[in-house]
Amino acid sequence: MSFGDPNNPYGPPQGQQPGYPPQPPQGQPGYGYPAAPPQGQPGYGYPAAPPLGQPGYGVPMEMPGLMKTARVLLFILSGFQILFGLLAGVLIGAAQDVSNGVGSGDNTDGLAGLGFLVAALLLALGALSIFLGVKFKNGGSGIRITTIVYAALMILGGITNMASGQNGSATFGGLISLAMAGIILASMVTSSASAWFNRPRY
């Protein structure tokens, strides 16, 4: 029995028996079957999920909850400081205009200057509170240290306000500022605050 010329490209491949369908070689798909991508190359569709157990790279660290609270308190405090600074400036300016109209302007100029200085200080502290609150997201340890010093000075101011207040509103204001400054200071000295401000930034 003859199997044909071995050099004939149109004849059956060598090593196969006649009557059986030809088997595709191992590396190539047969007719009618879709070609699967090789193992090393990605195919179409969704990429594969990373293996479990490996931490994701580039996932940003989330701000701790106590830090978020301190940030919100800084924004609230800045609103009060700016509001009281503007209100004090307007009231002192109006009082100075009234006193100048009466004729006793020389005696009240020094007090008005001191009042405007206090109003400007309140506006500057409000701007500092906003700056610190904004820089919490990507600031370094300098922002943390500035916030610690700022909160400590607010605590001293609150204690002074409570100690020297003759009426209930000064004592209440001192108590509120003391509580806010205490929360801000407590949030800055925790280990999570240290880790947040010393985290690597990409």
In this predicted structure, which of 4-13, 122-131, 150-159 has the lowest mean pLDDT? 4-13
Distance, in Å, from the CA atom of 187 to the CA atom of 35, rounded to the nearest integer, reads: 60
Nearest Cα residue to 193 out of 182, 202, 184, 180: 184
Q: Which of 69-83, 100-114, 117-131, 136-150 shows the lowest mean pLDDT across its residues?
A: 100-114
Compute the distance between CA of residue 168 and CA of residue 170 in angstroms, rounded to an integer.
Answer: 6
The C-alpha atoms of residue 147 and residue 183 are separated, in whole angstroms, by 12
**Which of 62-71, 93-102, 175-184 has the least mean pLDDT?**
93-102
- Select, from the ranges 7-11, 31-35, 94-98, 162-166, the one with the highest average predicted confidence (pLDDT): 94-98
What is this structure's pTM?
0.64
Nearest alpha carbon to residue 88 among 108, 112, 124:
112
